[in-house]
Amino acid sequence: MNKKNAAVAGLAGLAGAAALAAGTEAYAEVVRYDGPVTLCQGGSSLGCYSSKYLDVTMPESEQVWTEGIRAWTYLGYYAGGSTGYEVARSGTNLKLFNAGEVIGGDSIFSSASTYGSSFDDKYIGIKLPGNRYGWVQMDIAYYGLARKKIQAVAWGYETEPGVGIRAGAGYDMSYDLLPFTSVSGTWTKVNDDYSGADAAGPFGIMLYGNAQTSQSIAIEADIYSNPDGLNKNGVIVFDYKGPNDFKYAAMKDGANIWTLGYYNGDGTWHDVASFSETIDTSRWYRMRVEISGVNVKLYVDDKQGSGYAYKTEADFSSVGTGGLGLAVRQSQALFKDFAFSEWTPVSGTWQIGDSQSDGLDTTGPFGISLHNGAKTSNSYTIEIESDINSQPDGVNKNGVIVFDYKSPNDFKYAAMKDGADKWTIGYYNGDGTWHDTASFSEPIDTSRWYRMRTEISGSFVRLYVDDKTGNGYVYKTGIGFLEMGEGRLGLGVRQSHALFKDFIFSQWMTVSGTWLPGIQYDGLDITEPFGISLHSGYKTSESMIIESDVSSQPDGWNKNGVIIFDYNGPDDFKYAALKDGVDNWTIGYYNGDGTWHDIASFSEPIDTSKWYRVKVEINGANVKLYADDKQGSGYVYKTEADYTSMGTGLTGLGVRQSHALFENFSVR
């Protein structure tokens, strides 16, 4: 999880600024950690066994489980803490706080075991040693009459003695790491670098999105080992299948060797190849790992102008399709500019270029090239797009988007079959035959460009096509599969020859509310403070433009549509909103207290059920809002705001007790 002091540094501007702007007390520096972590589960009908203490000043990776506050589930009791820890009470019962409520000196605290129930969406107030305050968000699972599992969903604390904290406050540093995900150790973002620290071992690991190893891939990263690390090293991880099963390329400046090896969970490096030379601590090196089948070569650029130099190589018994990432082992290091080759040809003949790719298959059953950084997921709405141009020298004439690829004999596809004048969705099972499960017939021209768009939501797949004549995407067909796995994404041809370009994929993640995918993205929120859907691929920067078409619908209660940016959690984000219910364009922030915090606005009549194109321009901490009413005048300036700071949170869309449609979302 996340390192304390880095969380403090990242939060100081945001949390403090939000509190001041809201006209409340000035808060100091807040640290937040997100789980979930199980504190107790199982046991008899009277409760659950193995109840652990939670220290709200520590991430999960640094917990000792014997200090802090303790929970168990018999009749909903919540225990007091170890020495110096207390819980907030209301009379003899546990006091439960709503998000945004202040926990502080006005609360009554006790170290005694305290009864409480109905924890859903509530927070427990904590008093820590040193007169500091914190919170824990709990989740209790019910099994019959007894409650036999309790989790801490998230927790946080105020670093300054005597200063209150809002329930749920703090900054979830995991958003800063995207597209990486921390697995173990302590990982933070420091400016444009990733900082990894591991004190106890065996490894601190961070994985890159859905990226996967292939038998033809190159992986690179800049690495800077710090002198305060115990062992002094920095590691590129590949073929990661679990914390006890991965391979590595390591810079061990503490031992002056470059190594290739594997880890199997026994607590020991297993170097299978190495090269010894003087390696300087506290300077940058760039490592490059080249994988071809089971052979792995390691090159290093010492940044002195000589470029890459070969160091060593190893032949592993096998190289699978495990994840890619970075690591440290009882060490502390900085990393930047992580990169890997995007495409791996699996079959057929492929020429992968910067502007376009050429796929040829003459013998069948398919020529396939897979993207190393993308896979299907049931957790997101996946959008895959590519320009496709089928060539006349192909036998069958087609071009294919491949998804949920598990093997050469197990994948799904969306296909342009210009040889048969059909758009199809289907699957392949190794029997040498297309298995089309949905199709749409119309004339399709060979030797011209079409843009295909495949949307996957759960197990349902929709296919849209843009014929490049100005009409945009048109729906062709759709089908629900019995299951949708987490296979890879890619491109294909079947006894055909095709050109591909501008391949993109994106993931939309529903946080709250109800979101229906489509060319028009449909968002509905009835009871939540906000209904939110985040785009996993776009983080806020200090120079960016976010645009989307928005149409608020008349059946919404409040009538609005929102562009979200710098999203750091459901209680910490900024927004630009079309509020047709009150005829306002606004810019503001949300801090979890259930209220819009508009800091700039412009009033004019705004029509419900009409499409507007909204543009948000971010330049440092300054944000400008423009709107195009689709009447031919183009964008018109509406308002602007200066925030006290601008972070790197995610971007997305929102509605607040409203119903709205969105389309053509873009970030640049």
| Mean predicted lDDT score pLDDT of the chain | 85
pLDDT score of 172:
58
Query: E-strand spans in 429-542?
Result: 435-441, 450-457, 460-466, 473-480, 488-493, 497-512, 514-516, 521-524, 531-539
Residue 56 bridge partners (DSSP): none
Q: Which has the closest alpha carbon to 96: 140, 158, 66?
A: 140
Greater model confidence, 186 or 409: 409
User: Buried b / exposed e across 156-170, counting CB within 10 Å, b at 16+?
Assistant: bbbbeeebbbbbbbb
CATH superfamily, region 344-506: Exo-inulinase; domain 1 (2.60.120.560)
Of 6-15, 79-88, 380-389, 593-602, the poorest mean pLDDT is in 6-15
Question: Which range has the top average pLDDT, 8-17, 60-69, 104-113, 297-306?
Answer: 297-306
Contact (Cβ atoms closer than 8 angstroms) between residue 173 and residue 6: yes
**Is it the case that residue 173 has pLDDT exceeding 70?**
no
pLDDT score of 361:
87
Contact (Cβ atoms closer than 8 angstroms) between residue 36 and residue 150: no
First-residue to last-residue Cα distance in the chain: 30
Residue 162 bridge partners (DSSP): none
Greater model confidence, 20 or 308: 308
Mean pLDDT calculated for residue range 498-526 = 82
pLDDT score of 5:
25
pLDDT score of 141:
61
Greater model confidence, 373 or 263: 263
Identical fold for domains 176-341 and 344-506, yes or no, is yes
pLDDT score of 14:
20
The full set of domain ranges for the chain reads 4-171, 176-341, 344-506, 513-667
Mean pLDDT calculated for residue range 129-145 = 77
pLDDT score of 79:
62
Instruction: In whole angstroms, give the CA distance from residue 357 to residue 465.
Output: 19
pLDDT score of 11:
20
> H/E element holding 345?
strand 343-345
Of 33-37, 337-341, 445-449, the poorest mean pLDDT is in 33-37
pLDDT band at 668 (very low <50, low <70, confident <90, very high): confident
The tokens describing 402, both together, are 């491949």
- Residue 249: helix, strand or coil by DSSP? strand
Question: Which range has the top average pLDDT, 78-87, 157-166, 416-425?
Answer: 416-425
605-640 residue pLDDT tens: 999 999 999 999 999 999 999 999 998 889 999 999
CATH superfamily, region 176-341: Exo-inulinase; domain 1 (2.60.120.560)
Contacts of 627 (CB under 8 A, 6+ apart): 578, 585, 612, 613, 614, 615, 635, 636, 638
Please state, for a pLDDT cut of 70, what percent of the chain lies above it.
Answer: 89
Contact (Cβ atoms closer than 8 angstroms) between residue 531 and residue 514: yes
- How many C-beta atoms surround the C-beta of residue 334 within 10 A? 20
pLDDT score of 497:
95
pLDDT score of 287:
97
pLDDT score of 301:
95
φ and ψ at 177, to 5 degrees? -80, -20
pLDDT score of 505:
82
Q: Per 3-state DSSP, what percentage of the chain is helix, strand, and coil (rounded to 5)?
A: 5, 55, 40
Mean pLDDT calculated for residue range 427-444 = 96
pLDDT score of 22:
26
103-135 residue pLDDT tens: 998 889 988 877 776 666 678 999 998 899 999
pLDDT score of 120:
61
Greater model confidence, 356 or 517: 356
**Is it the case that residue 164 has pLDDT exceeding 70?**
yes
Instruction: In whole angstroms, give the CA distance from residue 59 to residue 246.
Output: 24
Of 91-100, 201-210, 243-252, the poorest mean pLDDT is in 91-100
**Is it the case that residue 278 has pLDDT exceeding 50?**
yes
Instruction: In whole angstroms, give the CA distance from residue 246 to residue 238.
Output: 6
Of 23-32, 355-364, 405-414, 496-505, the poorest mean pLDDT is in 23-32
pLDDT band at 188 (very low <50, low <70, confident <90, very high): confident
pLDDT score of 284:
96
Number of alpha carbons in the 13 Å side-chain half-sphere of residue 176: 24
Greater model confidence, 519 or 240: 240
pLDDT band at 19 (very low <50, low <70, confident <90, very high): very low
Greater model confidence, 114 or 173: 114
Contact (Cβ atoms closer than 8 angstroms) between residue 443 and residue 425: no
Greater model confidence, 189 or 445: 445
The tokens describing 512, both together, are 């709250």
pTM: 0.59
The CATH label, of 2.30.40.10, 2.60.120.560, 3.40.50.2300, 3.30.360.10, for the domain at 513-667 is 2.60.120.560
